[in-house]
Amino acid sequence: MRARRSASASSRCALCASSATTLRVAGRNLPCSGGGYFRLLPYALSRRMIGHVNRRDGQSAVFYFHPWEIDPQQPRVAGIDAKTRFRHYLNLDRTAQRLERLLADFRWGRMDEIFLAATQAPSTLAAHACALPLDRADPQTP
């Protein structure tokens, strides 16, 4: 079963977490939330999967990428095996362009605005888990 997503507000919560976006196909959850999958899979497939989650499931997609994934000039690590080299460096030169396309192809918003707003009305989304209490996250707290 696929994880369902939403958020809950708490005065003790400094950080809320969400599950990564997946698409349920033939009884399997396929990742479509970004990262290496966005770099390695064809753009059209990523776009289609995210669009499907929006339309069929009526959910916002959670998308992420690592900063190094948009830096094709990053230094190459010597001595790594072919599998790691493939996973880490493939399509680095295309990721920024793909990201720009994705930003243009969909409407985007901040997670707190999208998921916390969803708690104001009935939703198909389940609750987030708060990860850090405020007293640990706030550097001003003694």
For the chain, the helix, strand and coil percentages under 3-state DSSP, each to the nearest 5: 40, 15, 45
Cα 37 from Cα 24, distance rounded (Å): 16
- Residue 136 corresponds to which amino acid? R
Please name the residue ranges forming H helices in 3-91.
Answer: 36-40, 43-56, 82-89
> What does the pLDDT average to over 106-116?
80
pLDDT (tens digit, 9 = 90+) per residue, 35-92? 899 999 999 999 999 999 888 878 888 899 999 999 999 999 999 999 999 999 999 9
* CA angle centred on 117, ends 114 and 123, rounded to 5°: 95
Percent of the chain with pLDDT over 90: 44
Residues 95, 39, 52, 29, Cα dihedral to 10° = -160
Share the mean pLDDT of the chain: 77
Domain ranges of the chain: 13-137
